[in-house]
């Protein structure tokens, strides 16, 4: 039972972390290397909320808005000029990640920060006591997933984004303002990453480099999932399960690289497997 | 004013001027101003500055003032090479005294050997680093682990230990010693698990702790993030066993809030040590740095004491000549905030260890102290 | 042109001599600190050089060189630490430091490069490799020294100046080799892959294999740097293999100026030396400055600092002359004209639920020029793709020259004798005409690794195309300056230079002038009727089709509705109704 809960909640956390990255990858076809920095910015929003003595839940909207704003600036001034040089765009976002990390360090110092917990304690699930917050993470992941499903299928912007994901040239020919779609997507992706940072804060330490350990797993999951949120959810469940199983029965050290290595092998052998699923 | 007094004044002025005119003795301090150690590095620098100021105020060493040369080693090997190169070959320091990561220490050692200067290492570490130029005045596993284990077995009745660590030299070193010590004491280790150094998802390990039926936990993670994530996740999973944390320091425990409550720590220095030396030290630190003061800790106090130990060795040797100073170092002692310190045992120091427990308000109360714990055979060939 | 070329050469030789003098006499003037730091900086410069070859020249953005460097360094240190440091063991360490990274490079290359992998994917893999390696080092216990690294082993007995000269010498040799190589004909292939990987594949060269070999070779070079590092510094640590270090190398390369060899080398030495002298004073600010500079540089000055210098020295090329190889009329076996060269059986292709091609059957013989006509969306271009890329999932079979092409990547299909000309001219945008043509000959002519030939020999028909269109006169012109028609003609000449037996042409005359169209038509007729090539032509211009085709095939809604002679088709009812837009066959 614990194993099952571990798997589901691990998958949920992976999904929360990777969702913003996937949104950007789907529309702009670039991996945002500053993703770790957005996570960190989000977590520091929680720190600020705590320091100001505000309700910890307030950090969620704050992070989303701040992330979206920064994302908008990044898209406009860094990503857009590099539209035709995608590898350079990646590098530039990486450089931006360094800059944000150093700025946070200068401002808040390198020390580990602490935030007010959103919720504490354990609950009994069918006779097993389990961390309440991890179960909440599952709900959060579901909310994000469903939210995106609604955004994509139920709104004009979402439909435009879908068109851009499938065929950008055609979408532009159809009169869709692809530039606007890209900007909106980047903002949403960055906002979501910052949101993920807030959600991670109670489980991890908050320090300037907190985003880094999450990067590789998220990158590889997104590469595997391609452009579909459904595929991402499946990938998170499968590879998250693999991580938990390897950690539990083999070694947690191997578990730490399970996601990245399995994703790489999957991509090499069955590159289109998940995209089709 | 009589002539004798005038003479005295003149002599003292002359002495003072010669002392100031004399070349300072340079002490190189490579330290992690950036990178993993940058959280504690400022406190280490402050302690060193106080020691140098105090010594210079009393006339320096052999009539020469001390001067600090601080360099950032970025808490790692590559940065340490740059820092040591710069200190030893560019700034030409007379000695290196520093608190660093093991990787940085190891990277610096070949350069220390090439430049042939004395090197006092002031950070606790996993042990067994041996070099004729290297002395250590902080603790090793043989000194830190026994207080925790003895207390858990003797006072808490623990029989089954679960060990958790970060996968690096210090984590492995501490826990492998802990394991053998626990087994020698008649208890068993029901689990020993490691996560990569930057790992932050302890889920699987915590589930194992819960199913292994352990009655005590000892952890030795990398400082900072992994330590905090593990503690948070243990608490949120509802694990409330006796919990010995070999990597937490007083300051971190304080800022961790409720999650740290009840954790046992073992250290050679806690701010609450009740000795005149410690009180004088704390007062001097507060006076010198005021609002800027970084709480003195188990890493910064050895740095302070090491400078006094170097002073004693130079005075005994009568010069800063490396061979003479190295010969004198194991024979001198200094009574500082941690008590009497002498690096007399194979370049390592017997230390008084304190077992503390974190209270609800984040303060650490000393449960018990263990006098002059022996570092064991660290370097039998030295 | 000639003068600037001489000046360039003079400057390069001058630079090499100055570098050699610095290496030899440096120890006499430099202090211990500078020697020590520069030794390390020069080792790092070797890595920047490999990143430049991969990224600047070939377009593979990699963070993985740190992993190969670290593996080489650890292989060295582990041999010296755990086995011993006798001369023969030092040799063993040297060999291990190169072989192990090469093997790892082959594995990483295999994972990263295959038909259909994206550059982004390769970059992400290159990020994962150092992270996994670091993890392995951490869990290596006493073998790798875990987080503390390995220290205290015996090294090459060279001393400070010895190591300075050794690394300086190695770096100089590597830099000279790299510069000679990238200017050679073989080296231009790297640029060709960067410019247009698909075209390289359709010239019959497997780009994935080239990239894997390059990755493995440069992994070996990084391993050599690791060997030098482990000896010169006397210590190896996990961060030597880490991805942070990997990104630093990319930063040096970017700031120095990618694609120039010298830029990255100087960038690495300069920045590393500066950081050794400065970072102690401003630890956090230093990284902030470098990071900010990096972002600005990528956006504003992608060529790095070197581009400020190189823009004053336009790339000069020696005069290239064209030579036509003697043509044998029978090259394609006119006597075997009755053998079917291409056989398409029951070909179908769908994208999801959308069937683009259905049940197509078609045989084509040498000497035939078959035109495929049909309205937009009839599936013409899709059919070309199915004929030239066996990895496209299809129904039915395509047999070329007796081989079923299923599963064959484009380069495999090319080796069966197929050349494909794309709708939009697919050539190498940063190259000259002559260079493009040379790439097309790589299948037949082993290129020189050291020099760039001044004469280029092409099969008669290819040379004829160039002469008829006047391109033969402008062999040294960068293709970016060619007109639309010239680009089309150049691509056709490249395809013909492959000496294929079947040419696939997708709208070769779109956007051409009347005169150009006539020229191309003449050439195509000669190729097929006289020289026995087979050709499949997709074309909208029915007049053009009527003039040159020997047979016409009509596609409509993915089905083959008519297959006959020019006369048959032109006068058929079906074609008229299709083109008037009414038919539903």
Q: What is the DSSP string of B290-308?
A: GGGPPPP-TTHHHHHHHHH
Mutation for testing the B interface, residue in C145, C237, C275 having most B CBs under 10 Å: C237
Distance CA A267, CA C320 (A): 44
DSSP letter, residue C510: T
Mean pLDDT of C544-569: 86
Q: In this structure, what token pair is assigned to residue B68?
A: 């600090």
- Domain-embedded: residue A110: yes
* Confidence band, pLDDT 50/70/90 cuts, at residue A174: confident
* Confidence band, pLDDT 50/70/90 cuts, at residue B276: very high
pTM, two decimals, is 0.87
Distance of CA A167 to the CA centre of its chain: 24
Distance CA A242, CA A237 (A): 8
Query: Residue ranges per domain, chain C?
Result: 2-310, 325-580
Taking CB atoms and an 8 Å limit, are C37 and B114 in contact across chains? no
| Residue A275 C-alpha, separation from nearest chain B C-alpha, in angstroms | 28
User: What pLDDT was estimated at residue C264?
Assistant: 95
Tell me: pLDDT of B21 over 60.
no
User: What pLDDT was estimated at residue C5?
Assistant: 67
Q: In this structure, what token pair is assigned to residue B59?
A: 């006339």
Mean pLDDT of C487-494: 91
From C470, C471, C486, C525, select the one nearest C503 (Cα to Cα): C525
Least confident piece of the model among B93-102, C6-15, C101-110: C6-15
Mean pLDDT of C131-156: 85
Q: Is the torsion defined by CA of A60, A62, A66, A68 positive or negative?
A: positive
- Those residues of chain A whose CB sits closer than 8 Å to some CB in chain C are 29-31, 78, 81-82, 85-88, 90-92, 94-96, 98-99, 102-103, 105-106, 215-216, 219-220, 223, 253, 256-257, 260-261, 264-265, 267-268, 271
Tell me: pLDDT of C221 over 80.
yes
| Most confident range, picked from A95-99, A257-261, B207-211, B322-326 | B322-326
Mean pLDDT of C404-416: 90
User: What pLDDT was estimated at residue C97?
Assistant: 96
**Angle at alpha carbon of residue C420, lines to C417 and C425, rounded to 5°:** 150
Provide the Cα torsion C544, C547, C553, C554; round to 10°: 50
Q: In terms of C-beta distances under 8 Å and separation of at least 24 residues, what long-range contacts does C411-417 make, across chains too?
A: C411/C201, C411/C202, C411/C203, C411/C204, C411/C205, C411/C206, C411/C207, C413/C387, C413/C388, C413/C389, C414/C201, C414/C202, C414/C203, C414/C204, C414/C443, C414/C498, C414/C500, C415/C204, C415/C443, C417/C341, C417/C500, C417/C501, C417/C502
Query: Residue C456, SS3?
Result: strand
Least confident piece of the model among A140-154, A180-194, C156-170: A140-154
B350 contacts chain C (CB < 8 A): no
The domain made up of B3-139+274-349 has a fold known as Rossmann fold (3.40.50)
Tell me: pLDDT of C314 over 70.
no
A252 contacts chain B (CB < 8 A): yes
Q: How far apart are the first and last CA of chain C?
A: 61
| Most confident range, picked from C106-115, C337-346, C454-463 | C106-115
For C173, counting Cβ atoms within 10 Å of its Cβ (0-12 exposed, 13-18 middle, 19+ buried), the class is: exposed
Mean pLDDT of C219-240: 93
Query: Residue C450, SS3?
Result: coil
User: What pLDDT was estimated at residue C148?
Assistant: 81
Q: What's the half-sphere exposure (Cβ side, CA atoms, 13 Å) at C420? A: 27
* Confidence band, pLDDT 50/70/90 cuts, at residue C2: low
Chain A residues closer than 8 Å to C291 by CB: 95-96, 98-99, 102
User: What pLDDT was estimated at residue C317?
Assistant: 53
Q: What percent of chain B has a predicted confidence (pLDDT) above 90?
A: 61
Tell me: pLDDT of C575 over 80.
no
More confident residue, B310 or B11: B310
| Most confident range, picked from A200-214, B170-184, C287-301 | B170-184
C142 contacts chain B (CB < 8 A): no
Phi, psi of C490 (to 5 degrees): -60, -45
Mean pLDDT of B235-254: 84
Nearest residue on chain B to A10, judged by CA atoms?
B203
Mutation for testing the C interface, residue in A22, A88, A102 having most C CBs under 10 Å: A102
b/e C138-167 (16+ beta carbons within 10 angstroms → b): bbbeeebbbbbbbbbbebbeeebeebbbbb
Chain B residues closer than 8 Å to C233 by CB: 81, 107, 110
**DSSP secondary structure letters along C174-220:** HHHHHHHHHHSHHHHHHHHHHH-HHHHHHTT--HHHHHHHHHHHHHH
Q: In this structure, what token pair is assigned to residue B100?
A: 């660093």
Chain C residues closer than 8 Å to A261 by CB: 128, 132
User: What pLDDT was estimated at residue C173?
Assistant: 95
Mean pLDDT of B265-273: 91
Taking CB atoms and an 8 Å limit, are B204 and A247 in contact across chains? yes
Mean pLDDT of A257-269: 86
Distance CA A110, CA A40 (A): 12
* Confidence band, pLDDT 50/70/90 cuts, at residue C315: low
Distance CA B300, CA B40 (A): 8
Q: In this structure, what token pair is assigned to residue C200?
A: 């390289």
C38 contacts chain B (CB < 8 A): no
C240 contacts C69 by C-beta, under 8 angstroms: yes
A56 contacts chain B (CB < 8 A): no
b/e C303-335 (16+ beta carbons within 10 angstroms → b): bbbbbeebeeeeeebeebebebeeeeeeebeee
User: What pLDDT was estimated at residue C376?
Assistant: 78
C493 contacts C465 by C-beta, under 8 angstroms: yes
Mean pLDDT of C84-98: 93
For C106, counting Cβ atoms within 10 Å of its Cβ (0-12 exposed, 13-18 middle, 19+ buried), the class is: middle
Phi, psi of A114 (to 5 degrees): -125, 145
Mean pLDDT of C504-529: 85
More confident residue, A231 or C510: A231
Distance CA C431, CA C194 (A): 11
Cβ partners under 8 Å of residue B34, min gap 6: A110, B72, B74, B75, B79, C279, C283, C284, C287
Tell me: pLDDT of B14 over 80.
no
Tell me: pLDDT of C430 over 50.
yes
Residue C513: left if φ>0, alpha if ψ -120 to 50, beta else—which one? beta
User: What pLDDT was estimated at residue C583?
Assistant: 44
| Residue B200 C-alpha, separation from nearest chain C C-alpha, in angstroms | 14
pLDDT tens-digit map of A120-141: 777 777 777 788 888 888 999 9
What domain count does chain A have?
A: 1
Nearest residue on chain A to C130, judged by CA atoms?
A216
B10 contacts chain C (CB < 8 A): no
Chain C residues closer than 8 Å to B76 by CB: 237, 239
Q: Closest to A256 (Cβ–Cβ): which among B195, B210, B233?
A: B195
Q: Of the CATH numbers 1.10.1390, 2.30.30, 1.20.120, 1.10.3470, which one belongs to the domain with range C2-310?
A: 1.10.3470
| Residue B359 C-alpha, separation from nearest chain A C-alpha, in angstroms | 18
Mean pLDDT of C379-383: 86
Cβ partners under 8 Å of residue C41, min gap 6: C268, C269, C272, C273, C276
For B151, counting Cβ atoms within 10 Å of its Cβ (0-12 exposed, 13-18 middle, 19+ buried), the class is: buried
- Domain-embedded: residue A62: yes
C574 contacts C561 by C-beta, under 8 angstroms: yes
**DSSP secondary structure letters along C391-419:** TS--EEEEEETTEE-TT--HHHHHHTTEE
- Domain-embedded: residue A237: no
| Residue C208 C-alpha, separation from nearest chain A C-alpha, in angstroms | 13
Query: Residue A52, SS3?
Result: coil
From C310, C198, C430, C61, select the one nearest A88 (Cα to Cα): C61
More confident residue, C358 or B6: C358
Tell me: pLDDT of B20 over 50.
no
Mean pLDDT of A206-220: 84
Taking CB atoms and an 8 Å limit, are A202 and B198 in contact across chains? no
Q: Closest to A10 (Cβ–Cβ): which among B199, B201, B237?
A: B201
User: What pLDDT was estimated at residue B13?
Assistant: 47
Mutation for testing the A interface, residue in C120, C246, C293, C351 having most A CBs under 10 Å: C120
Residue B352 has a CB neighbour count (10 Å cut-off) of 17
Mean pLDDT of C338-348: 86
Mutation for testing the C interface, residue in B100, B107, B129 having most C CBs under 10 Å: B107
Tell me: pLDDT of B7 over 80.
no
Query: Residue B278, SS3?
Result: helix
Distance CA C436, CA B230 (A): 59
Tell me: pLDDT of B17 over 50.
no
Mean pLDDT of C576-584: 62
Give Cα separations from A200 to A46, A100, A211, C205 (angstroms): 10, 19, 10, 48
User: What pLDDT was estimated at residue C282?
Assistant: 65
Overall CATH class of domain B141-267+355-373: alpha beta
C101 contacts C219 by C-beta, under 8 angstroms: yes
More confident residue, C448 or C43: C43
Query: Residue B25, SS3?
Result: strand
User: What pLDDT was estimated at residue B16?
Assistant: 45
Tell me: pLDDT of A116 over 90.
no
- Type and span of the H or E element at B164: strand B160-166
Mean pLDDT of B266-282: 93
In chain B, which segments carry CATH 3.40.50.2300? 3-139+274-349, 141-267+355-373
DSSP letter, residue C448: P
Q: What's the half-sphere exposure (Cβ side, CA atoms, 13 Å) at A129? A: 13
C283 contacts chain B (CB < 8 A): yes
Taking CB atoms and an 8 Å limit, are B85 and C141 in contact across chains? no
A259 contacts A14 by C-beta, under 8 angstroms: yes
Residue with tokens 């080792």: C43
pLDDT tens-digit map of B163-197: 999 888 888 889 999 999 999 999 999 999 988 87
| Helices assigned H by DSSP within B58-156 | 77-85, 102-115, 141-154
User: What pLDDT was estimated at residue A273?
Assistant: 63
Mean pLDDT of C222-236: 94
Mean pLDDT of A70-97: 90
b/e B165-184 (16+ beta carbons within 10 angstroms → b): bbbbbbbbbbbbbbbebbee
Q: What is the predicted ipTM? A: 0.86
Phi, psi of B224 (to 5 degrees): 75, -130
List chains touching C (3+ CB pairs under 8 A). A, B
Phi, psi of A207 (to 5 degrees): -145, 170
More confident residue, C78 or C444: C78
> Considering the domain C325-580 in this protein, what is its CATH number?
3.40.50.300
B71 contacts B28 by C-beta, under 8 angstroms: yes
Tell me: pLDDT of C1 over 50.
no
Tell me: pLDDT of C280 over 70.
no
Distance CA B23, CA B91 (A): 13
For A29, counting Cβ atoms within 10 Å of its Cβ (0-12 exposed, 13-18 middle, 19+ buried), the class is: middle
List chains touching B (3+ CB pairs under 8 A). A, C
């Amino acid at each position: 039972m614990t194993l099952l809960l571990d798997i589901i909640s691990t998958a949920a956390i992976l999904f929360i972390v990777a969702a913003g990255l996937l949104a950007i990858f789907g529309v702009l076809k670039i991996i945002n290397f500053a993703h770790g920095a957005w996570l960190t910015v989000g977590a520091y929003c929680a720190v600020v909320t705590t320091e100001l003595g505000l309700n910890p839940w307030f950090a969620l909207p704050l992070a989303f808005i701040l992330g979206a704003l920064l994302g908008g600036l990044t898209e406009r001034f860094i990503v857009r000029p590099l539209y035709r040089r995608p590898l350079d765009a990646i590098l530039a976002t990486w450089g931006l990640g360094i800059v944000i990390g150093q700025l946070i360090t200068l401002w808040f110092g390198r020390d580990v920060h602490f935030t007010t917990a959103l919720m504490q304690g354990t609950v009994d699930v069918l006779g097993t006591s389990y961390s309440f917050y991890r179960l909440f993470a599952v709900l959060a992941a579901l909310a994000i997933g469903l939210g995106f499903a609604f955004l994509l299928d139920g709104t004009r912007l979402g439909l435009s984004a879908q068109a851009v994901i499938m065929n950008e040239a055609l979408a532009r020919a159809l009169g869709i303002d692809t530039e606007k779609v890209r900007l909106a997507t980047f903002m949403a992706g960055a906002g979501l990453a910052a949101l993920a940072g807030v959600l991670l804060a109670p489980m991890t330490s908050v320090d300037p480099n907190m985003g880094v350990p999450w990067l590789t797993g998220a990158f590889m999951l997104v590469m595997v999932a391609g452009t579909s949120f459904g595929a991402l959810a499946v990938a998170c469940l499968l590879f998250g399960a693999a991580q938990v199983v390897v950690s539990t029965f083999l070694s947690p050290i191997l578990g730490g690289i399970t996601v990245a290595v399995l994703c790489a092998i999957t991509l090499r052998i069955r590159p289109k497997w998940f995209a089709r699923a | 004013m009589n002539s004798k007094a005038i003479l005295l004044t003149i002599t003292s002025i002359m002495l003072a001027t010669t002392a100031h005119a004399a070349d300072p003795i340079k002490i190189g301090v490579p330290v992690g101003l950036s990178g993993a150690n940058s959280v504690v590095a400022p406190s280490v620098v402050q302690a060193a500055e106080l020691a140098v100021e105090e010594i210079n105020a009393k006339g320096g060493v052999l009539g020469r003032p001390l001067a600090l040369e601080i360099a950032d080693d970025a808490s790692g090997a590559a940065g340490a090479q740059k820092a040591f190169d710069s200190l030893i070959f560019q700034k030409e320091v007379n000695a290196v005294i520093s608190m660093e990561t093991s990787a940085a220490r190891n990277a610096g050692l070949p350069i220390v050997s090439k430049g042939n200067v004395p090197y006092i290492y002031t950070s606790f570490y996993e042990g067994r680093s041996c070099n004729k130029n290297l002395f250590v005045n902080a603790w090793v596993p043989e000194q830190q682990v026994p207080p925790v284990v003895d207390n858990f077995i003797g006072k808490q009745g623990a029989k089954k230990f679960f060990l958790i660590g970060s996968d690096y030299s210090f984590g492995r070193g501490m826990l492998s010693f802990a394991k053998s010590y626990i087994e020698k004491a008649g208890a068993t280790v029901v689990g020993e698990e490691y996560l990569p150094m930057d790992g932050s998802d302890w889920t699987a390990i915590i589930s194992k702790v819960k199913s292994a039926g352990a009655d005590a936990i000892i952890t030795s993670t990398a400082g900072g993030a992994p330590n905090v994530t593990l503690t948070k996740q243990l608490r949120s999973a509802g694990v409330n066993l006796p919990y010995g944390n070999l990597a937490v320091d007083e300051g971190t425990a304080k800022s961790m809030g409720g999650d740290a409550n009840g954790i046992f720590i073992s250290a050679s220095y806690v701010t609450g040590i009740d000795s005149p030396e410690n009180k004088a030290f704390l007062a001097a630190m507060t006076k010198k740095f005021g609002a800027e003061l970084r709480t003195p800790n188990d890493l910064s106090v050895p740095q302070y004491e090491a400078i006094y130990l170097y002073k004693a060795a130079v005075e005994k040797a009568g010069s800063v000549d490396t061979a003479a100073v190295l010969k004198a170092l194991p024979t001198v002692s200094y009574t500082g905030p941690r008590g009497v310190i002498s690096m007399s045992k194979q370049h390592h120091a017997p230390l008084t260890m304190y077992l503390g427990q974190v209270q609800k308000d984040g303060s650490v109360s000393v449960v018990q102290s263990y006098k002059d714990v022996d570092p064991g055979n660290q370097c039998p060939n030295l | 042109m000639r003068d600037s070329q001489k000046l360039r050469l003079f400057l390069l030789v001058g630079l090499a001599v100055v570098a050699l003098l610095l290496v030899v006499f440096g120890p006499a003037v430099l202090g211990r600190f500078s020697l020590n730091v520069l030794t390390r900086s020069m080792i790092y410069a070797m890595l920047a050089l490999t990143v430049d070859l991969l990224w600047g020249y070939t377009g593979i953005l990699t963070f993985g060189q740190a992993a190969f460097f670290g593996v080489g360094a650890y292989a060295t240190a582990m041999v010296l630490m755990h086995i011993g440091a006798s001369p023969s063991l030092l040799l063993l360490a040297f060999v291990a430091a190169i072989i192990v990274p090469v093997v790892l490079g082959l594995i990483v290359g295999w994972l990263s490069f295959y038909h259909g992998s994206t550059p982004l994917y390769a970059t992400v893999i290159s990020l994962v490799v150092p992270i996994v390696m670091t993890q392995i080092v951490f869990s290596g216990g006493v073998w790798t020294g875990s987080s503390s690294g390995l220290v205290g082993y015996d090294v090459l007995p060279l001393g400070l100046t010895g190591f300075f000269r050794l690394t300086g010498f190695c770096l100089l040799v590597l830099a000279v080799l790299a510069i000679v190589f990238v200017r050679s004909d073989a080296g231009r292939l790297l640029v060709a892959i960067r410019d247009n990987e698909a075209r390289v594949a359709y010239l019959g060269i497997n780009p994935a294999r080239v990239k894997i070999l390059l990755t493995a070779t440069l992994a070996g070079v990084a391993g050599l740097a690791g060997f030098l590092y482990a000896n010169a510094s006397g210590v190896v640590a996990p961060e030597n293999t880490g991805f942070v270090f990997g990104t630093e190398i990319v930063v040096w390369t970017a700031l120095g100026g990618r694609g120039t060899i010298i830029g990255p080398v100087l960038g690495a030495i300069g920045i590393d030396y500066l950081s050794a002298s400065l970072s102690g004073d401003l630890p956090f600010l230093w990284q902030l400055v470098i990071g900010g500079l990096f972002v600005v540089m990528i956006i504003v000055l992608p060529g790095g600092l070197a581009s400020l210098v190189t823009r004053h020295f336009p790339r000069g090329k020696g005069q290239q002359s064209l030579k036509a190889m003697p043509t044998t009329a029978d090259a394609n076996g006119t006597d075997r004209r009755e053998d079917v060269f291409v056989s398409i059986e029951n070909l179908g292709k769908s994208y999801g639920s959308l069937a683009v091609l259905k049940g197509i059957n078609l045989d084509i013989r040498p000497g035939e020029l078959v035109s495929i006509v049909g309205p937009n969306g009839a599936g013409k271009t899709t059919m070309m793709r199915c004929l030239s890329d066996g990895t496209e999932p299809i129904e039915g079979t395509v047999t070329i020259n007796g081989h079923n092409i299923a599963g064959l990547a484009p380069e495999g299909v090319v080796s069966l004798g197929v050349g494909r000309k794309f709708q939009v001219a697919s050539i190498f945008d940063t190259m000259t005409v002559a260079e493009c043509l040379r790439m097309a000959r790589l299948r037949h002519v082993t290129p020189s690794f050291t020099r760039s030939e001044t004469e280029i020999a092409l099969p008669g028909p290819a040379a004829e195309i160039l002469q008829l269109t006047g391109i033969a006169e402008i062999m040294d012109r960068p293709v970016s300056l060619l007109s639309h028609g010239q680009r089309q003609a150049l691509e056709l000449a490249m395809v013909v230079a492959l000496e294929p037996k079947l040419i696939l042409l997708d709208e070769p005359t779109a956007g051409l002038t009347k005169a150009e169209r006539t020229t191309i038509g003449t050439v195509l007729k000669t190729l097929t009727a006289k020289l026995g090539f087979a050709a499949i032509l997709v074309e909208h211009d029915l007049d053009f089709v009527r003039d040159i085709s020997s047979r016409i095939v009509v596609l409509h809604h993915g089905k083959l509705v008519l297959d006959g002679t020019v006369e048959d088709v032109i006068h058929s009812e079906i074609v008229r109704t299709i083109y008037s837009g009414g038919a539903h066959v």
